[in-house]
Amino acid sequence: MNRVRVRQLWFAATLLISLFLMLIPLPGPLTPFKPYWPALILLYWCLQSGDRVTLGLAFCLGVAADLFDGVLLGEQALRLTAMVFIALRFRSRLRFFPMWQQSLAVLGFLVNDRILLLLVRVFGGDPLPPAEYWISPLVGAALWPFVFLILDDLRARLRIHDA
């Protein structure tokens, strides 16, 4: 009982932390290198416990992220829902990929996400973004193994500690 509770708390806490990480600024020149944290964390949970992540959750997280960002409401909701849908569809296969292949898959997800964002912004009347716009997915994919291992390790520790 208590163990389930702790796991749920941990789940919610990681999602919240991802939102905070999204808001915390990096020093000026590093700004384009910032990965899209909510997507990374959500992908991790998709792969690790797919029954907990649903499209509805992705949608809610996206709306919350939009509220924090203060831009178009529903933009990140759309992006995260689409990403989670694809990730859940290929979940069983993704889980057995070696780490470098998983990283490539994550790169694909993040690039797809950027393309969606580009579509939304261009439809909204914004001009095309500069070239640095495409750096962030690469950074996200490069960080993926570390995110995955760290979160996995923390999860294992929590469970051991709790049992």
Partner 1 sequence: MALNRDDKSPLFAPGVAGTLRLIVYLALACVLMVLDHRGGWLANVRYGLSLVVEPVYRIAGLPSQGFQAATVAFADRQRLTEQNQRLREDLLLANAKLNRMASVAEQNTRLKELLDTQHSLSLNVQLARLIGVDLGTFRHRIVLNVGARDKVQPGQVVIDARGVMGQIVDVMPTTSVAMLITDPNHAIPVTIERTGLRTIAYGSRAGDLLTLPNIPVSADVQVGDKLVTSGLGGRFPPGFPVGEIRDVAQTASGTFLSAQAKPAADLDRSEDVLLLHDLAESAGPPPPAPNVGPPSDMKPDPNAPPAPTLPAVTSPTATPLPARAATAGSPAGSTP
The footprint of partner 1 (CB under 8 A) covers 19-20, 22-26, 28, 31-32, 34, 48-51, 54-56, 58-59, 62-63, 67-75, 77-78, 81-82, 84-85, 88-89, 91-93, 120, 124-130, 133, 136
- Least separation in angstroms between residue 57's CB and partner 1 is 11
Query: Can you state the angle between helices 99-123 and 37-48, rounded to 10 degrees?
Result: 130
| Distance separating alpha carbons of residues 113 and 24, to the nearest angstrom | 21
What the block records as the tokens of 148 is 């995955």
What the block records as the tokens of 89 is 């569809």
Assign 3-state DSSP to the chain and report helix, strand, coil percentages, each to 5.
80, 0, 20
- Least separation in angstroms between residue 80's CB and partner 1 is 9
Query: Can you state the angle between helices 2-23 and 37-48, rounded to 10 degrees?
Result: 150
* CB-nearer residue toward partner 1: 1 or 24: 24
- Least separation in angstroms between residue 9's CB and partner 1 is 18
Three-class SS of residue 1?
coil
* CB-nearer residue toward partner 1: 127 or 146: 127
- Least separation in angstroms between residue 100's CB and partner 1 is 20
Asked whether the beta carbons of 91 and 47 are under 8 A apart, the reply is yes
Three-class SS of residue 98?
coil
* CB-nearer residue toward partner 1: 125 or 146: 125
- Least separation in angstroms between residue 38's CB and partner 1 is 12
